[in-house]
Structure 1
Amino acid sequence: MKKVLIINGHQYYDVVAKGELTRSYIDRATKFFLENGFEVKHTEIEKGYNIEEECQKFEWADAVLLQYPVYWMGVPWITKKYFDETFTQGRHYESDGRSRSDVSKTYGSGGLLKGKKYMLSITYNCPTTEFSNPKSFFDGLSLDEANVATHKTFQFVGFEPLKTYSVHDIFKGDLDLTKELEKFENTLKENFLQK
């Protein structure tokens, strides 16, 4: 795994979401990958993209790192639109996977990007205590379960998940970004350097 596509899924909103935190993580990831001999390509969705070029990037990459803030319990709408436009039938998935002649072929198994990995890196306003807690807002869902739509988007085209990273309470006022970036880099090491 030596070719990584880093996708910036941030969407700008004045005052509350200017993108500095997302940029900090992307800069740290880029530095990490380059220092460890990876080839890196970037996509910053908000700056626009060429669909054909993005399709080629997915085919080129061994792994994808998607960095994004959670807006209304999911990816920003421009990020959802990006995947709608760039994951293309016949190129990234053959079909939904099912077969009338072979019942072992199940829904979601038609991805053509098998053997590739993806990592979600997510910024949240909610505290970590909201996950895996049956009395919380997410009704006991884990972090990954609460982000199932994003996971399944990648998995539908054949990608396999790496460990998710998340940072929480970003508006609380006491975020130790240095400490969080160290935790992020440790997750990158675990995902990309350990065999």
Structure 2
Amino acid sequence: MKKVLILNGHQYYKGPANGELTGHIIEKAKEFFSKNGFEVKYTHIEKGYDVKEECEKFQWADYVLLQYPVYWMGVPWITKKYFDESFTQGVHYESDGRSRNDASKRYGSGGLLKGKKYMLSLTYNCPTSEFSAKDGFFDGLSLDEANIATHKIFQFCGLKPLETYSVHDIFKGDLDLDSELKKFESVLSKNFL
């Protein structure tokens, strides 16, 4: 049986960030994985966690799905804190990968979670048109390039990326939730089946 760890990286702010959209996406993910025979573990970071237990979940999981709203071009601070605590105190890497005896071993190659994969699921106020556009806010960076810091967290520990899902213009007022959840499920199917 395939095993997936779902991380809810949302951080609540009354008004602009109540968490409903993240909640819908998480529920769709749980439904998808349950329907397709996955064993699921779940952490809602904002509600608290035990570092040792989280480290064990990463060892247990074949896959990790991280859903979060992009705040100020990155993960919410509690999600960064989660990684700082769980990965720094965990056993996800022996070293940064380098070796005094073997110059071929490069920085970032010491991850102990090799063979595992992860997926980012992002919610943005930013429109999709700002990515991969030379005159866009992100100076021509793709969605994944603009989220490189989060990707590098997982890469440092040895995980490989799956296709990223994102929903944009969430404050515009015309979000079609059913359509977005169908797109999300399509990306889940592509990544996990």
Shorter-normalised TM range: over 0.9
1:144 Cα deviation (Å)? 0.2
Corresponding pairs, count: 193
Cα separation, 2, equivalents of 1:2 and 1:87: 23
The alignment partner of 1:169 has SS state of: coil
Q: Point out where structure 1 has 5 or more consecutive residues left out of the alignment.
A: none
Cα separation, 2, equivalents of 1:90 and 1:30: 26
Q: Which amino acid aligns with 1:68?
A: Y
Identical columns (%): 76
Greater shift in the superposed pair: 95-104 or 15-24: 95-104
1:90 Cα deviation (Å)? 6.8
1:139 Cα deviation (Å)? 0.2
| Residue of structure 2 in register with 1:93 after alignment | 93
1:116 is aligned to 2:116: yes
Deviation digits for residues 122-175 of structure 1 (CA, Å, limit 9, x no counterpart):
000000000000001100000000000000000100100000000000000000
Q: Is 1:89–1:95's contact at 8 Å kept on the other side of the alignment?
A: no
1:173 is aligned to 2:173: yes
Q: Which amino acid aligns with 2:71?
A: Y
1:9 Cα deviation (Å)? 0.1
The alignment partner of 1:112 has SS state of: coil
Q: Is 2:3–2:63's contact at 8 Å kept on the other side of the alignment?
A: yes
In the superposition, the TM-score normalised over structure 1's length comes to 0.97
| Residue of structure 1 in register with 2:63 after alignment | 63
1:162 is aligned to 2:138: no
Cα separation, 1, equivalents of 2:3 and 2:90: 23
Cα separation, 2, equivalents of 1:161 and 1:90: 21
| Residue of structure 2 in register with 1:187 after alignment | 187
Q: Which amino acid aligns with 1:124?
A: Y
**Residues 90, 169 of structure 1: alpha-carbon distance in 2 compared, 3 angstrom cutoff:** closer
In the superposition, the TM-score normalised over structure 2's length comes to 0.98
1:88 Cα deviation (Å)? 3.4
Q: Is 1:115–1:159's contact at 8 Å kept on the other side of the alignment?
A: yes
Structural RMSD (CA)? 0.9
Q: Which amino acid aligns with 1:5?
A: L
1:89 Cα deviation (Å)? 6.0
Q: Is 2:51–2:85's contact at 8 Å kept on the other side of the alignment?
A: yes
The alignment partner of 1:82 has SS state of: helix
Q: Which amino acid aligns with 1:94?
A: E
Q: Which amino acid aligns with 1:161?
A: P
| Residue of structure 2 in register with 1:35 after alignment | 35
The alignment partner of 1:88 has SS state of: helix
| Residue of structure 1 in register with 2:13 after alignment | 13
The alignment partner of 1:5 has SS state of: strand
Q: Point out where structure 2 has 5 or more consecutive residues left out of the alignment.
A: none
Q: Which amino acid aligns with 2:94?
A: E
Q: Is 2:22–2:68's contact at 8 Å kept on the other side of the alignment?
A: yes
The alignment partner of 1:4 has SS state of: strand
Greater shift in the superposed pair: 49-58 or 82-91: 82-91
**Residues 168, 133 of structure 1: alpha-carbon distance in 2 compared, 3 angstrom cutoff:** same
